[in-house]
Amino acid sequence: MLNRLKRLMAPPLSSQLQAVAEAEPQAPVQQLPVQQELDLDIGLIDIHVSGWIQNDTGELLEGFAVGPEDRVLDIGCGDGGYAKFCAKHGAEMILADVNLESLKTARQRLQAEAPRSVQILLTDANPLPLPDASVTKVVAMEVLEHVDDPGQFMAELVRVGKPGAQFLLSVPGEVIEGVQRHIAPPAYFEKPNHIRIFKQGELEQLACDAGLIVERSSHYGFYHSVWWALYWACENQPLNPPWHPLLERWSETWTTLLSLPAGAQIKHALDAVMPKSQVVIARKP
C-alpha cells in the first residue's frame, strides 16, 4: 500500500504528458491510435479538451506559452512530464524536487529533446538555490498541498522570477480531496503526501498575497477525479495496465460521452463541480 501511495502522490498526469510531449505538433491528440491503453488515450483527450498540451501554440496550458526565450523552473518536477513539454519547445530547464531518483529520470527524458540546458536541484525550496530574478516561467503543479509553509514556498518562487515572469500553479480540487478523506488510506493525508486541502479561492489568494497578479483561474479533471476514487476499490491494481474492469468501464463511458455533441459541454460542467485540480496562471509585476 505504501508503494501505491508513493506513486499516487507523483504528478498524476506525468506519464500522459510524456506521451503527448513526444508527439509531433501536427498530430492532434484526438487522433491517438485507438489501440493504445484505453485510460491513457481518453485521459490525454480529456486534458487536451481542457486546454492542456497545445503543441501547435507551445502552450502547456492555454495562456501559458513556453518557447526558446524562456528559462523554466519546474518545482516538484517528478519524473519530468510537464518539463518534457517545455523542453520540446526549446526552453532552458531547471528541474527541482526532493527526490533525487525522480530528478535523474526527468533529466534523462529531457536530454532526448536536446534543450538549451538542463539543471537539476535537489531542494525543498527553503530556500531555493537560485539567484533573484533568474527565471521567466515557474511551474508548480500539485506541490503546494505537500509543503509545510505555502507562504514561504511562494515567496521563494516569486523571488527567483524575473519581472513579468509567469507562474503556473495547481493544487487538488477541494471536493475530490474531501471524497478521498473517506475512501483513501490514512497515509494519503500524512507527510510526505497531502497535508492540507485548498478551499476554492485559496490558491488565488495565496498568489495575490505573494505579490502576483492572477491572470487566469480554471479547473479541470472530473474524469480523473472519478478514476482515482474508483481506483481504491480495485484491490492490487498497479498504476499501469492491464486495468481492472471497473476502471476500463469508466474510461469507456467517458470516451462515449466526449464523442457526443453535448459531451464537451457536460465535461466542462462536471469539471466545475468536482475538478481533479484547481489551476492559477499568474504574473510577477
Contact 168, 61 (CB under 8 A): yes
In tens digits, the chain (285 residues) has pLDDT values of 434 444 444 443 333 344 333 433 333 333 222 223 334 589 989 999 999 999 999 999 999 999 999 999 999 999 898 899 999 999 999 999 999 999 999 999 998 887 789 999 999 999 999 999 999 999 999 999 999 999 999 999 999 999 999 999 999 999 999 999 999 999 999 999 999 999 999 999 999 999 999 999 999 999 999 999 999 999 899 988 899 999 999 999 999 999 999 999 999 999 999 999 999 999 999
Peptide bond into 185 cis (omega under 30): no
- 136: helix, coil or strand? strand
Read off the pTM.
0.87
- 117: helix, coil or strand? coil
Q: Number of structural domains, the chain?
A: 1
Residue range of the domain that includes 10: 2-283
pLDDT, position 76: 96
Nearest to 71 by CA among 207, 166, 212: 166
Whichever domain contains 6, its CATH number is 3.40.50.150
pLDDT, position 52: 96
What whole-number distance in Å separates Cα of residue 142 and Cα of residue 146? 8
CA distances from 216 to 83, 256, 277 (A): 21, 30, 14
Instruction: Tell me how long the chain is.
Output: 285
Q: Classify residue 188 by burial, with Cβ atoms within 10 Å: 0-12, 13-18, 19+.
A: middle
